[in-house]
Structure formats: structure tokens, C-alpha cells
Structure 1
């Protein structure tokens, strides 16, 4: 089992160059590191939005995509996404794929804390049923018709996290039905996601 309390640091070319404790990596000069975002949909095509726990260091209480996380040293990013969906929401997807493999962002909170991530985006599909959120990660959740959530987030009617705002501006290029989105299968991911993120490799 990888050490999920550490995150993998990256250089500007997207190579793993070290690791740091997750509890210490986010600050006023956060180094570039690997992460992921996941958008969960049910069989009706509804999207699962979550509100971040008020105890989170970054963007507490903000509505966002279904799940976020960091691959640990030695962990494949697809495995990390599966792990976090189970840990945060009690969900096991029946299908998952990468929809925005090249997403990267840097943003700063009002208090100066920085997020700085290479953060590919996944879509995951689950059978009908309600999640079982971990309250230390998720304060609330809500199901939306995807076009409604997308359009309300883009118009500013619904305030969402800065990374979700940027991601939605790219996902708008896909069709309204998430089942039709082009996805990279987790068994055939492009470099560097086709191997575990080995620090110093």
C-alpha cells in the first residue's frame, strides 16, 4: 500500500522529482505537485457535486467537483482516483476514464495559500445509490443534471472552486451527455500516467 500521506512533487516538464508530506505541501509557495479531479455521474447522467469540509485547509466549504486527491509515491493515478472515491464518498465506479489529461492550474486563496497542481481530470460512473461521505472531507453533496450544474457554475449563479471553474470551461466543449465524452481508458494511459509515479525515476 503506497504512503498516501505524501504527495509527489513535479518539475516543469511533468516528471516526478521528490515527495513531501501532504500536511506540509500547501502554503504561500506551494511547489508543483501531482493531483487529480474526478466528476462522478449516475446512470441517469446526473452529476455529483460536493461541498468541501469546513476543516479543509484550502477552499473550505466551497462547492466543487465530486472528488479530488493526490497520487502517492509509487501509486498509479487511476488507482489513486479509485482509492479516494472509496475513502471520501464510499463509491466504487463501474467505469472510469481520463477526460482532461493535460489539465494544470495554479491559484491563490485570499489568505495567500497556493494550489499548484498537474491535475488530470477523470469521469467516473456509478450505479444508482447515495454516497457515504467522509465528514472530514465532504460537508454536503447534491445531484445535478450535468448541463444545469455546468451552466450555473459558468454564469456565476453557483460559486465553485477555482479548479472546477477552469475545468468546466474545458468540459463545455463536450456533449451534454457525459457517457459520450471521449475518455482515455485507465489500462491505456499516456505518459506519464501509464506507470506508477516513482520518485526520482
Structure 2
């Protein structure tokens, strides 16, 4: 039997105030909790875009960034990113850096709400990815400039959080500077 996965609940200032079972936290009145998003680049600067598995409870079948997840209680965010990338994509992240430390969003689909403080990371992978079918339905490597342009123009449908993140990420994602993690 797999142990329950917990998420870290937050107050409006981003301070941890408790934990909740991940399987029970996402509903019509989801409390604010900690998450992360990651954009992975290959050696040519293309971004890995993923389509969420069709049976996922939240936002099934939606195209989005490379990897999303929740850190476990007391787990450093960068460790959580590496853990989830390994699990979801069968890949090892190199050159991982925090680029949007204070990103926050709220989104709803089919009565399920996401309400997250979601720091955004950029990293690289060297070699192939092996998507886990329970997490990822499809993957594509796309030139960042083209992907970004299509998302910003509205011609590319992606998750709410991806659209909002892309609007805040730089035109040259590979050169995005690391941000301070202060306050996280």
C-alpha cells in the first residue's frame, strides 16, 4: 500500500500552517498550498511540454509545462523538483534554478480548484525522457520562442498556470537568471 502523500498548507503570507492529504485537498474550495512548476530545456534550448495523463483528477489531458508537483513537508523545493522529474519523466535535472520565486495562481476545472503558491524552476536534461504513463500522456520538445509566442498570442492552449507563467518568463529562457529563494 502506498503511503498518503501530504501537501504543505500555507497562510496568505506563504508561511506553512499545516499539512493535508493530497488526495483530499483538491476540491471546490481548495486551501492555499505549496507547489512548484518546472520548465526543462534540452541542449538546443527547446522546452519539454507535457500533456497530463487523461485520468488525473486535476486538469486531465491538459498541455502544460514540463513538470509540476508538491513538495513533501520539510522537503526542500529543489529536491522535490528533482524527485518529481525523475518520477514523472524518468530524467535527471541539471542546472536547476529558481526563476519565479513568488508565482501564485488559482484555477478551476470541472469543480476542482488549484490554489497554489508555485515557485517556478528552469533546468536542463541530458538525454531522453521516459514519461510515466500514470502522470504524462504525451511529451513534445518545442522551440521556446515558438511555444512562448503561441501561448502569449492565445493560439496555443495550455494550463492556466502555464499561460500565466509563460507571460512572466523571459524571451530567452535558457539565460533566465536564478532568483533569490528568500521568503520561500
Aligned residue for 1:38, secondary structure, equals strand
2:129 maps to what in 1? 131
5 Å matches for 1:125-164?
125-127=124-126, 129-164=127-162
Deviation of residue 156 (structure 1)?
Answer: 2.1
Structure 1: gaps (5+ residues) = 193-201
Which structure has the highest strand share of the two?
2
Unaligned runs of 5+ in 2: none
The yes-or-no answer on 1:56 pairing with 2:56 is: yes
Supply the distance in 1 between the matched residues of 2:101 and 2:90 (Cα, whole angstroms).
25
Considering only aligned residues, what root-mean-square deviation do their CA atoms show, in Å? 1.3
Give the whole-Å Cα distance in 2 for the aligned partners of 1:78 and 1:30: 24
Q: Which residue of 1 is the match for residue 17 of structure 2?
A: 17
> Is the contact between residue 52 and residue 63 of structure 1 (CA under 8 Å) also seen in structure 2?
yes
Give the Cα–Cα distance (whole angstroms) in 2 for the partners of residues 117 and 60 of structure 1.
18
1:92 is matched with 92
The aligned runs of 1:164-175 (5 Å cut-off) are 164-171=162-169, 174-175=170-171
**Shift, 1:179, TM fit:** 2.4
Which structure has more relative contact order (CA 8 Å, sep 6+)? It is: 1
Count of matched residue positions in the alignment of Structure 1 and Structure 2 = 182
Task: Indicate if the aligned counterparts of 2:4 and 2:21 stay in contact, CA closer than 8 A.
Answer: no
Aligned equivalents of 2:91 and 2:130: distance in 1? 8
2:133 counterpart SS class:
coil
